[in-house]
Amino acid sequence: MADAVFWALVAFATGTSLVTAWTLGANSNSPPFAPAIGANAVSTMRAAFLIGILAAAGALTQGGAISETVGAGLVNGVSITSLAATAGLLTAAGFMAFGIYSGYPVPAAFATTGAMVGVGLSLGGDPAVATYQQIALFWALVPPVSGGLAYGTATLLRRDDIPETVSIPLLAALVAGIVANVRLSLLPAAPGASQGSVAGAVARAVGGPTVGGVDVVAVAVSLAFAALGFQFVRVRTQASVDRGVKTFLLVLGSIVAFSSGGSQVGLATGPLENLYTAELGLPGTVLLALGAAGILGGAWMGAPRLLQATSREYAQLGIRRSIAALVPGFVIAQAAIFLGIPISFNNIIISGVIGGGLAGGSAGVSREKIVTTVTFWLVTLVGSVLLGFGVYRVLATFLAS
C-alpha cells in the first residue's frame, strides 16, 4: 500500500510539474519574440515554433542551477519528499492559475519559491536565511537595474548624434560578448563548477596567462565575439537600417527566449529535485528534459494566442523601446542563472518597459498599475508560504489517517 501511495504521488507530482512547465512555456517565454512579431520581422506561428525550440534548449543546458536552488536550497535540515513536492507544486500551480484566469500579475518565481519555503518549514526544516537574503537582494535590485539598463539603452538609441548604423551594432557587440560567457552544461567546466562557457573552455584549452586574476584568453574570446556581433549587424544596418534593426531584434529575441527557458524551467522541476535524483536515482538531466518537454509543448500550443496580443502592445511601444526592454532581460536572466536564483521574467520585462519609457519622458505605465503589480507580488510571496505550509500539513494528516 505504501508503495502504491508513493508511486501515485510520483505520478501526480510529475503531472503537476509538466502542467507548470507547459504554463511557463505558453506565458513566461513568449514576451521575447513579441517585439519581432510587432515589427513584422517574423510570423506568429514561426515565432511560437522558435520559442519552443530555444526555450527547451535553454532549459536543458542552463536550468540545473535554479532547479537545485528551488528543490534543495530554500530550507535547511530536511529533504523535500514526494508528498512535500506535491504540496508545493499544487500551491504554486494554484497561484499561477489564479493569475492566468483573473488577469492579476502573479509571478511564477514568487509563487514557487514561497510554496517550497512553506512546505519545507512544514516538514520541520530550518529557514535558509542566507539564501533568502541573497534572493531578496536580487529581486529588489531587478526593477532599478532592469529599468536603468533599459533607460540607458533607450537613451543611446534616441541620440541624434549617434546613427543607428553605430548604436544598434554597439548593442549587438555587448550582447555577443556576454553570449561568449553564458554558462552551458554541455561545455567543459572549471573545477568545482557544473557549467562552462565558450570563453572559459577556449581559455582552458589554450592555457593562456592571467593578469590580476583575469584570464587574458577568455577576455580575447569575449572581444572576438563582440567584434563579430558588431560587424554582422553593422553590415545589415548599412545595407538597410530597417532590415538591420529587425535582424537584431530577431536575434535578441532568440537569445532572450533561450535564457528565459533556462531561468524558468527550475520553477517547474525544482520541487522534484530530491524525488528524482535521491529517491528514484535518476540523473538531473532526466528532470530537466521533462521540464523542457513541458515548455516546448506550452510554447507550441499556448504561445500563439498570447504572442498575438503582446505583439500589438510591443508594436505600440516601438522597436527601440522594445530593444531597450529585452537587453536587460537577457543580462539579468543570465545573472540569475549564474547565481542559481529563481526570478520572475515578467518582472524584468515590465521594469525594462518602464525604464525605456522614462527615456522618452513617460514610463507608459500608470502609477496605479505599478502599485497593484507590486502588491500582488508581495501577496503571492507571503500567501504561497502560508498556503504551502498548510497544504502539506493537510495532505500529511489525510494520508496518515
272-301 pLDDT, tens per residue?
998 898 888 888 889 999 999 999 998 888
Helix axes 164-179, 241-269, angle to 10 degrees: 30
How many whole angstroms separate alpha carbon 313 and alpha carbon 145? 23
For position 99, what pLDDT does the model report?
76
Torsion, Cα of 389, 395, 396, 401 (10° steps): 150
Other C-beta atoms within 10 Å of 312: how many?
12
DSSP string, 141-202: HHHHHHHHHHHHHHHHHH-TTS-HHHHHHHHHHHHHHHHTT--BTTS---TT-S-B-HHHHH
DSSP letters for 272-312: GHHIIIIIS---HHHHHHHHHHHHHHHHHHHHHHHHHHHHH
Beta bridge partners of 210: 215
Least confidently predicted of 15-29, 71-85, 221-235, 276-290: 15-29
pLDDT digits (tens, 9 = 90+) for 330-386: 999 899 998 899 988 777 877 777 777 666 665 455 667 677 778 888 888 999 999
Calpha distance 154→380 (Å, rounded): 31
Task: Kindly report the average pLDDT of the chain as a whole number.
Answer: 85
Q: Of 86, 84, 113, 114, nearest to 19 (Cα)?
A: 86
pLDDT of residue 317: 65
Partners of 75 in beta bridges:
127
Quick check: 318 pLDDT over 60? yes
**pLDDT, position 211:** 78
Number of residues assigned to the chain: 401
* Interatomic CA distance for residues 272 and 84, integer angstroms: 9
- Concatenated DSSP letters of 36-53: HHHTTSS-HHHHHHHHHH
Lowest mean pLDDT among 70-79, 191-200, 351-360: 351-360
pLDDT at 321: 76
With cut-offs at 50, 70 and 90, classify the pLDDT of residue 134: very high
pLDDT band at 315 (very low <50, low <70, confident <90, very high): low
Range in 31-40, 80-89, 305-314 with the lowest mean pLDDT: 305-314
pLDDT of 366 reads 61
Indicate if the pLDDT at residue 397 is higher than 50.
Answer: yes
Whether the CB-CB separation of 260 and 32 falls below 8 Å is answered with: yes
Confidence band for 133, pLDDT divided at 50, 70 and 90: very high
pLDDT for position 1: 39
The residue extents of the domains of the chain are 2-400
